[in-house]
Amino acid sequence: MSTAKDAIKLAKDRKAVAVDFKFLDFLGTWQHFTTPVSELEEDVFESGLGFDGSSIRGWQPINASDMLVIPDPSTAVMDPFMTHSTLSLICNIVDPITKEDYSRDPRNIARKAEAYLKSTGIGDTAYFGPEPEFFIFDDIRFDQNEHSGYYYVDSVEGRWNSGRDEGPNLGYKPRYKEGYFPVAPLDSQTDIRHEMVLAMESVGLRVEKQHHEVATAGQAEIDLRFLPLVKMGDALMWYKHCVKNVARRHGKTATFMPKPIFGDNGSGMHVHQSIWKGEKPLFAGNGYGGMSELAMHYIAGILKHAATLCAFVAPTANSYRRLVPGFEAPVNLAYSSRNRSAACRIPMYSPSPKAKRIEVRFPDPSCNGYMAFAAMLMAGLDGIERRLDPGDPLDKDIYALTPEELKDVPSVPGSLPDALAALAKDHDFLLKGDVFTEDVIETWLEYKRTKEVDPLRLRPHPYEFALYYDA
């Protein structure tokens, strides 16, 4: 475990002139402030540094705004995007009066989830391996006001530009739904993705592979090797940071918005997960798909609480432009081995017990990773503790089934309001071990409803004019 002395030594060895303190707001965006390296002393790792918590989304009222960041020395790395040599530290948030960890700090929620797993005696490590997808665009413009509303995205790879005069247009634009994954020149972004990988590796992330994804217009995927829950929460934040900043270097823009393009695939984030105890993988067994009884209970917990989970793992209104029955996203709550149309899949790449895991396929990369991973772990543990039964697997092509065959297969919520309603009704499992608190649940519901659901409900949609202007 790295210490304060180790972090200070790294700054000295790398001739850092500044220190960047990073932490996550309630919704999932990194915040930061920077100090000269002369301010980095050992007591900072104990007493912390103050900031205004009332200016952070979903946090403190203005009459109780003082908060502290406590840097975690194990997260010390050199920031690859600063012009001047800068040490980066990820921080936990503490109340300056009570000295207690702040309940609305997403990293604290993830830390408590890991602690709860250990307290149950079921296992000691929960591993997560997300596969975030994203788009790399050349242009993005949008506006919304009292009398107009529009968005415009563009990419030199976009199939819609096959007839544009580009002086000259060189062709090789991936057809809709055929971006997975031909070589260059159809895939024009191998080098930029590789640069993203190098940036990730420079901050200690381990990348398994990178490739173009299904959609036209620069859809991409870079896969991280699995890590324990909190470390993967940290890694996902660095992942997004590297993707966005490398894109910016190239005069491009990257988005983790789930469904930015109509008529082509959206961006999901399949999440592989497993529980270990010591050196023993607990999901390996002799049951269906080579899984253990414990793993099947975990799957049952995920499926039972899937509607509630969507409030955290598919947390935007745009998420439900992707989670639509009959299209590419797995909306039907079933499990299967190999079958990618199931919401919960058992990968069959390797017979090794260490490779046994489940893959939850309905999350998307707009989520706050710390809270999403913690919520899925709590749902799975609830399934184990209550010995829930996932039922029979569904090994058929779900999209080929008739309505009669699908009538008994539940599906994910159809909208963000539906997911929030599920969270309001079913969240006791999240409260175990004080991992999530009633305050966290209530604040999440209030923020999402007042800042996202209501503003969207009040605004005319541009396509409504095409449908109804001549009514």
Give catalytic status of residue 385 as yes or no.
no
Q: Which of 72, 79, 133, 138 is catalytic?
A: 133
Give catalytic status of residue 213 as yes or no.
yes
Q: Which of 193, 272, 305, 361 is catalytic?
A: 361
Q: Which of 6, 52, 208, 438 is catalytic?
A: 52
Q: Which of 340, 385, 426, 449 is catalytic?
A: 340
Give catalytic status of residue 52 as yes or no.
yes
Measured torsion, CA atoms of residues 383, 388, 391, 394, in degrees rounded to the nearest 10: 0
Give catalytic status of residue 359 as yes or no.
yes
Q: What is the pLDDT of residue 1?
A: 62
Using alpha carbons, list the distances in angstroms from residue 449 to 321, 371, 446: 18, 18, 5
Q: What is the pLDDT of residue 388?
A: 97
Q: Please give the chain's pLDDT, 471 residues, in tens.
A: 689 999 999 999 999 999 999 999 999 999 999 999 999 999 999 999 998 888 888 887 766 678 899 999 999 999 999 999 999 999 999 998 888 999 999 999 999 999 999 999 999 999 999 999 999 999 999 999 999 999 999 999 999 999 999 999 999 999 999 999 999 999 999 999 999 999 999 999 999 999 999 999 999 999 999 999 999 999 999 999 999 999 999 999 999 999 999 999 999 999 999 999 999 999 999 999 999 999 999 999 999 999 999 999 999 999 999 998 777 678 889 998 866 678 999 987 777 888 899 999 999 999 999 999 999 999 999 999 999 999 988 887 766 777 777 778 889 999 999 999 999 999 999 999 999 999 999 999 999 999 999 999 999 999 999 999 999
Give catalytic status of residue 211 as yes or no.
no
pTM: predicted TM-score of the whole model, two decimal places: 0.96
| Cα separation, 240 vs 246, whole angstroms | 10
Q: What is the pLDDT of residue 104?
A: 94
Q: Which of 79, 138, 213, 382 is catalytic?
A: 213
Q: What is the pLDDT of residue 58?
A: 85
Give catalytic status of residue 133 as yes or no.
yes
* Residues 166 and 155: beta-carbon distance below 8 Å: no
Give catalytic status of residue 241 as yes or no.
no
Q: Which of 20, 79, 105, 221 is catalytic?
A: 221
Give catalytic status of residue 438 as yes or no.
no
Give catalytic status of residue 146 as yes or no.
no
Q: Which of 79, 114, 157, 359 is catalytic?
A: 359
Q: Which of 20, 79, 114, 131 is catalytic?
A: 131
